[in-house]
Chains A and B, each alone.
Chain A
Amino acid sequence: MSAVARTWTGRSGPTSLLEVRDLEVIFTRRGRRDVRAVDGVSFSVDAGETVGIVGESGSGKSITSLAVMGLLPNRGCDVSGSIRFDGEEIATLGGERLRRLRKRFQMIFQDPYSSLNPRMTVAGIVGAALEIHGIGTRRERRERIAELLQLVGLPTRAAERYPHQFSGGQRQRIGVARALAVDPDLIVADEPVSALDVSIRAQILNLLVRLQDRLDLTYVVVSHDLAAVRRISDTVAVMYLGRIVELAPTVQLFRAALHPYTVALISAVLIPDPALQVGRRRIILTGEIPSPANPPTGCHFHTRCWLYQRLDQPERCRTERPPLADRGGGHAAACHFAEDVDGTPEQRQAMGRGVATAVGQATLAAAEAAAAVATVDLDVGDDGDGDVDDDPPLTTT
């Protein structure tokens, strides 16, 4: 572990709201091999900043977010390392102390259908946190709920309704309102838009950005959607098989990624501009992501790495875990041959001139499309449902 501990792990200073050090999450099941879902992850998040964590499924990004939230099950799951929230160690914190601290960090969930209790009204869902932390009188709480609903762009009369009466996008707004109810400092969003219709995604992302400006929020956003992460993050951590392989300021990452995996990821993002897209070539990674129960030795990525092949399969990649080392400018990459990535045709093709901005524009384009859809919907939207999602309007008469 010392190799990792000594290496650069992000800008950390007195302002860091969240500091994760050498986080390890191991799932143990009797009769089965232990699964090291998170393997020595370190990063820090400054107040007011947004850190995006990207990776494929199985990369450990969601587990990392659950660990930060203290939501991992007690049984069959070993968490080690340090998670400091505003200077307080929360990884080992349990019971009542943790429960009281919870109002300072909240979570937005991926699935707006399963994340809202179907038997509670919106007021009950949003207000539960206020009630449990004894915030305000009944009347003040009701006013606060109305205020929150307005804040996330829902009418106040939504309070008396049940989740099934809303569309996916609206449900996600309810989830956001719930997270905001206790006025948290940190919000962890696990794939906040990936369950939503493409036309709705930009709306929710914009909402998150707007709320951040207005309420001084700090975000950790977990997603497999590079474009979404690019849109809202200041810093991006790329995870692969439980490890952070690259950590860099967003602009930096999309301008010149230094890890072969990141380069491959970026090369796969579609750019809604044929002129730019035509000159690009996707780097196709061979095979599936290996099982976290039996990860490759050395660098986890070497089994699928294009650079490893290019460099004639250097032994170092198979035997030695590459440290997440600073390459200057707050840009860290865990690759023995990060210098060799810089300037390769693959990197140039993936990033290219204008691509860095274009990846962001992919989201913008989606936003415009959403606006168009929204306008259209208003014309036919008198079914009183207001859905712009794919789910059919609910008829209840």
Chain B
Amino acid sequence: MSLSEAEARVDTAVATEDVGGSLLKEAWRRLRRDPVAITGGAMVALFVLVAVIGPWIAPYGPSDRAGAVTPTMIPGPSSQFWFGLDDLGRDELSRVILGARQSLLVGVVSLVLGMIGGLTLGVLAGALGGWVDSLIMRIIDIVLAVPGLLFAIGVAATLGRSLQSVMIAIAVVNVPIFARLLRGQMLSQREADYVAAATSVGLRRRVVVFRHILPNSISPVIVQGTLTLATAIIDAAGLAFLGLGGTDPSVPEWGRMLADSQDYLSGAIHLAIFPGLAIVFAALGFTLFGERLREALDPKYRR
């Protein structure tokens, strides 16, 4: 019969070349070709590199008196001090470099803590549903009703002035974001036919949740994580600006450097510009990379 012959021949014509792979591999391939993603990735890489090797590349120590200053005469950028000196005669470049580590540390730790809390709640709500879901989501609604930074200030102020309390405060703010995101993803994935198919094949509920629903719900979480790093860095700077960060003056923080620069804005604008640019640079890197990652992982953009 001509039909089944043709049918058979069509079927053997399945992709003959060995291309393609898992969704993550494809996303990675698309990212590597995306100039914006590469720019963002490079900015992130530079930031992380500086944070890690900062103490070895900084020309001066964080508390070193590098040059002479008077309250009315704070030297700006020069060939010797690229970013100028601060009000105590310390090298601004060195302090910006050393501040990177603080920002990264606060960003990563608060992100990880926030993710652990958020994803746990999200999985519980998304997998169990019912009253567990209602309870978790109502609590999250309440938390989300308070503006994030305000809430973080409240938490950090309650916990006392330290780096740990900043991390915890930012983590707490991120918990509801991750919880709600993951729950929403799981709910929409739960409706997909492949979940019904997995159930009808005889898979246990637990296996369906962890092997089928969860892996398909996680991409937006990865994206959100990248973007959250950006806001965490800004939030950390914001808390430090308000005097809620670490107390050790020998550990530079970009937010506190910004706060300290306020008194010298007319005479030494560079004290505000360079820490500010550093914050923007780090946050922008994560944002650019995260946005492009979102597109690379989204099947709708697949070509």
Interface, chain A (partner B; CB < 8 A): 66, 69-71, 75, 99-100, 102-103, 106-107, 109-111, 114-120, 125, 128-129, 132-133, 153-155, 157-158, 161-162, 164-166, 170, 173, 175, 178, 181-182, 202-203, 206, 210, 367-368, 370-371, 374-375, 377-378, 381, 384-386, 388, 394-397
Which one of A102, A115, A162 contacts B20 once the chains associate, using CB atoms below 8 Å?
A: A162
User: Bound state CA distance, A117 and B203, in angstroms?
Assistant: 14
In the complex the two chains form, is B201's CB within 8 Å of A114's CB? no
The 8 closest A-B pairs by CB, nearest first: A386-B13, A115-B193, A102-B202, A129-B201, A384-B16, A374-B6, A153-B11, A396-B20
What number of residue pairs across chains A and B have CB atoms under 8 A from each other? 144
Kindly list 15 other residue pairs between chains A and B, CB separation below 8 angstroms, not including A165-B20, A178-B197. A69-B200, A71-B196, A103-B202, A117-B198, A120-B212, A132-B201, A132-B202, A158-B14, A164-B299, A170-B11, A378-B6, A385-B15, A386-B11, A386-B12, A396-B29
C-alpha spacing A385/B129, complex, angstroms:
41
State whether A394 touches B13 (Cβ < 8 A): no
A96 and B192 alpha carbons, distance in the complex (Å) = 23
Are B6 and A375 within 8 A (Cβ)? Answer: yes
Of B13, B19, B215, chain A has the most CB atoms within 10 Å of the CB of B13
A117 touches B194 (CB 8 A): yes
- Give A195 to B98 CA distance when docked, in angstroms: 59
Are the C-beta atoms of B2 and A75 separated by less than 8 Å? no
Residue pair B13, A381 in contact (C-beta under 8 Å): yes
A–B complex contacts, Cβ < 8 Å, 28 sampled: A71-B196, A107-B197, A114-B192, A117-B216, A128-B201, A129-B201, A155-B12, A158-B14, A161-B20, A162-B20, A162-B23, A164-B20, A170-B11, A170-B14, A178-B197, A178-B201, A206-B7, A371-B7, A374-B6, A374-B7, A378-B6, A384-B15, A384-B17, A386-B11, A386-B14, A394-B20, A396-B26, A396-B29
Which B residues fall within an 8 A CB radius of A?
2-4, 6-17, 19-23, 26, 29, 129-130, 192-194, 196-204, 207, 212, 215-216, 299, 302-303
A99 and B202 contact, CB distance less than 8 A: yes
Cβ–Cβ contact A395 & B303, under 8 A: yes
Contacts A161-B15, A162-B21, A386-B15 given; indicate if A100 touches B193 (C-beta within 8 A). no
Contact A370 B200 (CB under 8 A): no
Q: Tell me which of A173, A175, A381 contacts B197 (CB under 8 A).
A: A175
A384 to B12 CA separation, bound complex (whole angstroms): 10
State in angstroms the CA–CA spacing of A115 and B212 once bound together.
12
Cα-based distance from A371 to B6 in the complex (angstroms): 6
Nearest Cβ distance between residue B119 and chain A, in whole angstroms? 18
Residues of B near A109 (CB, < 8 A) are 193, 196-197
Residues of A within 8 A of B129 (CB): 75
Please give the distance in Å from A218's CB to the nearest CB on chain B.
16
Chain B residue contacts of A384, Cβ below 8 A: 13, 15-17
Shortest Cβ distance from B185 into chain A, in angstroms? 13
Which of chain B's residues have a CB closer than 8 A to the CB of A175?
197
CA distance A181 to B198 in the complex (A): 13
The docked-state distance in angstroms from the alpha carbon of A133 to that of B204 is 11
Residues of chain B with a CB closer than 8 A to A100's CB: 202
CB distance from B140 to the nearest CB of A (A): 21
Q: Which residues of B contact A170 (CB under 8 A)?
A: 11, 14
Say yes or no: B4 contacts A206, CB within 8 Å: yes
A99-B204, A394-B20 given; A155·B3 CB < 8 A: no
Which of these, A102, A165, A370, A377, contacts B201 with CB under 8 Å? A102
Contact A119 B201 (CB under 8 A): no
CB atoms of B198 and A128 under 8 A apart: yes
Check if A115 sits within 8 Å of B10, measured CB to CB.
Answer: no
A181 to B202, CA, bound (A): 12
CA distance A288 to B37 in the complex (A): 51
Residues of A within 8 A of B199 (CB): 71
Minimum distance in angstroms from A93 CB to a CB of chain B:
13
B residues within 8 A CB of A157?
A: 14
Task: Tell me, in angstroms, the Cα distance from A120 to B197 when the chains sit together.
Answer: 13
* Least CB separation from A167: chain B residue: B14
Contact B11 A154 (CB under 8 A): yes
